[in-house]
């Protein structure tokens, strides 16, 4: 263990349903400093692309927020934000700001009716201001329109069986009416711009593991709606792929955010990357952990999906590559802790284990994180 003055990095994701990533950082800080106020702590809240994505950048890099009037998933006017990184052409777009599930009351959620149009408006506003590099977080969507609404807001035109333009915001129902697509009026700023998608799921667009059958129910779809949504998406992307002369439906991550992944790839030429690795690169995490004594990371649940590239494993891999010990704090551990430790984790803590029940761990997460922070500080002091 390095000398006491060497910093400790706390870099967790949010504990969904309990605390934001910044809240997790603060709770662990309080617990550590309660035992040893002199320990040097630097907090780096993280996200792999979901709700709160732009806030992560705002807390970790210099830049500014832009406000933009957009349509929410049901076509109602709201104010959304995006983040511009200082002294660069880069903006960070969080689709959940404009097209997120939390923007709609549970009783009104219906992926046949929701649209990504507002997300396209955010991109258009940034293009109008001259930004040309986009990092797009696509978690937490309320939509299943294949990104058609987003493309429509950027000038792509869609036509029905009578060759009449569909002027309402494209949604999971209207994409089934589309028979022709015109790209002639696509925003001119798209050419010459770079679009990077921060993905945290790798589902294809269609099929039993696709956008509809894996995610549409949580967006309000009924069992009756699922085959309709799937049929519409299949029909729509047959036309999209013919129009752009490229197949996108099987690209891993195309099914993310109700097919917004596919839409960004098809209409904007985007590339999809691991969300956490993209974030860690953008905030220069490898530089942040040089000469640190310890990295602490965590998220609400550690399970088999964690090993597929979620936030925790992104941080663990960077820490181990830099030769830095790493401790993981989870709300719950679903699986054999020894299996996770074999990935390079030096110590693994569970709030549920400390609290004695999952309900207490969720409802009193901050308090139990403080307790674990204290345990970590005691371990550090023993090893110093």
Q: Which CATH number covers residue 362? A: 3.40.50.10350
Among residues 118, 124, 119, 264, the alpha carbon closest in space to that of 185 is found at 124
Checking 360-365 for CB contacts under 8 A at 24+ apart, the result is: 361/18, 361/331, 361/332, 362/17, 362/18, 362/331, 363/18, 365/15, 365/18, 365/19, 365/24, 365/27, 365/331
What integer pLDDT is reported at residue 1 of this predicted model?
46
Residue 282 covered by a domain? no
> Does 153 share its domain with 258?
yes
> Does 16 share its domain with 145?
no
Q: What is the pLDDT of residues 134-145, one digit of tens each?
A: 999 998 999 999
> Does 117 share its domain with 149?
yes
Report the C-alpha gap between 25 and 42 in whole angstroms.
Answer: 9
Residue 76 covered by a domain? yes
What integer pLDDT is reported at residue 218 of this predicted model?
95
CB-neighbour burial class of residue 79 (10 A; exposed 0-12, middle 13-18, buried 19+) = exposed
> Does 190 share its domain with 235?
yes
Q: Which residue has the tokens 């894996």?
A: 214
> Does 164 share its domain with 61?
yes
Among residues 239, 163, 158, 252, the alpha carbon closest in space to that of 211 is found at 252
Distance of CA 243 to the CA centre of its chain: 29
What integer pLDDT is reported at residue 346 of this predicted model?
92
> Does 18 share its domain with 77?
no
> Does 148 share its domain with 208?
yes
Residue 2 covered by a domain? no
pTM: 0.91
Range of the domain at 21: 8-44+289-383
Which of 255, 276, 297 finishes a domain?
276
What integer pLDDT is reported at residue 4 of this predicted model?
59
Q: Which residue has the tokens 């550090």?
A: 380
Q: In the beta sheet, which residues pair with residue 273?
A: 198
Distant-in-sequence, close-in-space partners of 287: CB < 8 Å, separation ≥ 6: none
Which of 218, 244, 276 finishes a domain?
276
Contact 341, 305 (CB under 8 A): no
Pairing of β 326-333 and β 347-350: parallel
Residue 323 covered by a domain? yes
Residue 1 covered by a domain? no
> Does 61 share its domain with 29?
no
- For residue 209, what are the CA distances in angstroms to 27, 216, 220, 231, 274? 37, 11, 18, 15, 19
> Does 35 share its domain with 58?
no
> Does 95 share its domain with 138?
yes
Residue 3 covered by a domain? no
> Does 95 share its domain with 28?
no
Q: Which residue has the tokens 């993905």?
A: 199
| Other Cβ atoms closer than 10 A to 371 | 17
Q: What is the pLDDT of residues 242-282, one digit of tens each?
A: 999 999 999 999 999 999 999 999 999 999 999 999 999 99
Report the C-alpha gap between 170 and 176 in whole angstroms.
Answer: 10
Q: Which CATH number covers residue 207? A: 3.90.1510.10
Residue 281 covered by a domain? no
| Helix residue ranges, H only, the chain | 21-35, 53-60, 95-99, 117-128, 148-153, 211-215, 225-244, 256-268, 275-282, 285-288, 311-321, 337-341, 351-355, 358-363, 365-383
Residue 370 covered by a domain? yes
Q: In the beta sheet, which residues pair with residue 79?
A: 69
Q: What is the DSSP string of 7-31?
A: -EEE----BTTTB-HHHHHHHHHHH
Q: How many domains does the chain have?
A: 2
Which of 244, 276, 308 finishes a domain?
276
> Does 310 share its domain with 348?
yes
The tokens of 19 are what? 């605390």
Q: Mind listing the pLDDT tens digit of every residue in the chain (384 residues)?
A: 445 578 999 999 999 878 999 999 999 999 999 999 999 999 999 988 777 899 999 999 999 999 999 999 999 999 999 999 999 999 999 999 999 999 999 999 999 999 999 999 999 999 999 999 999 999 899 999 999 999 999 999 999 999 999 999 999 999 999 999 999 999 999 999 999 999 878 899 999 999 999 999 999 999 999 999 999 999 999 999 999 999 999 999 999 999 999 999 999 999 999 999 999 999 999 999 999 999 999 999 888 777 666 889 999 999 999 999 999 999 998 888 788 888 889 999 999 999 999 999 999 999 999 999 999 999 888 876
């Amino acid at each position: 263990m390095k000398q006491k003055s060497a910093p400790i990095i706390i870099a967790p994701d949010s504990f969904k349903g309990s605390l934001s990533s910044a809240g997790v950082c603060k709770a662990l800080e309080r617990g550590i400093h309660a035992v040893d106020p002199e320990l040097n702590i630097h907090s780096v809240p993280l996200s792999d692309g979901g709700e709160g994505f732009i806030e992560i950048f705002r807390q970790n890099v210099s830049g500014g927020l832009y406000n933009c009037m957009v349509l929410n998933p049901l076509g109602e006017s709201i104010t959304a934000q995006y983040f511009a990184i200082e002294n660069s052409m880069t903006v960070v777009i969080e689709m959940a700001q404009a097209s997120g599930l939390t923007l709609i009351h549970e009783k009104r959620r219906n992926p046949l009716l929701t649209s990504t149009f507002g997300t396209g408006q955010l991109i258009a506003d940034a293009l109008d201001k001259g930004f040309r590099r986009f990092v797009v977080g696509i978690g937490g969507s309320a939509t299943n329109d294949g990104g058609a609404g987003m493309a429509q807001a950027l000038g792509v035109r869609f036509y029905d069986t009578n060759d009449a333009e569909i002027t309402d915001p494209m949604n999971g129902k209207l994409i089934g009416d589309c028979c022709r697509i015109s790209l002639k009026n696509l925003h001119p700023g798209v050419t010459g711009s770079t679009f990077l998608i921060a993905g945290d799921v790798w589902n294809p667009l269609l099929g039993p593991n696709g956008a509809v059958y894996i995610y549409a129910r949580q967006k309000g779809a009924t069992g009756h709606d699922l085959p309709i949504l799937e049929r519409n998406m299949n029909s729509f992307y047959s036309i999209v792929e013919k129009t752009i002369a490229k197949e996108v439906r099987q690209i891993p991550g195309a099914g993310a955010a109700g097919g917004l992944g596919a839409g960004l790839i098809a209409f904007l030429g985007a590339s999809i990357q691991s969300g956490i690795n993209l974030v860690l690169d953008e905030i220069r995490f490898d530089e942040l952990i040089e000469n640190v004594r310890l990295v602490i990371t965590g998220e609400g649940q550690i399970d088999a999906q964690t090993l597929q590239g979620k936030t925790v494993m992104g941080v663990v891999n960077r820490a181990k590559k830099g030769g830095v010990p790493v401790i993981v704090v989870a709300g719950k551990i679903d699986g054999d802790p020894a299996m996770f430790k074999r990935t390079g984790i030096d110590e693994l803590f569970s709030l549920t284990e400390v609290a004695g029940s999952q309900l207490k761990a969720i409802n009193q997460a901050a308090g139990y994180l403080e307790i674990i922070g204290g345990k970590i500080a005691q371990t550090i002091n023993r090893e110093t």
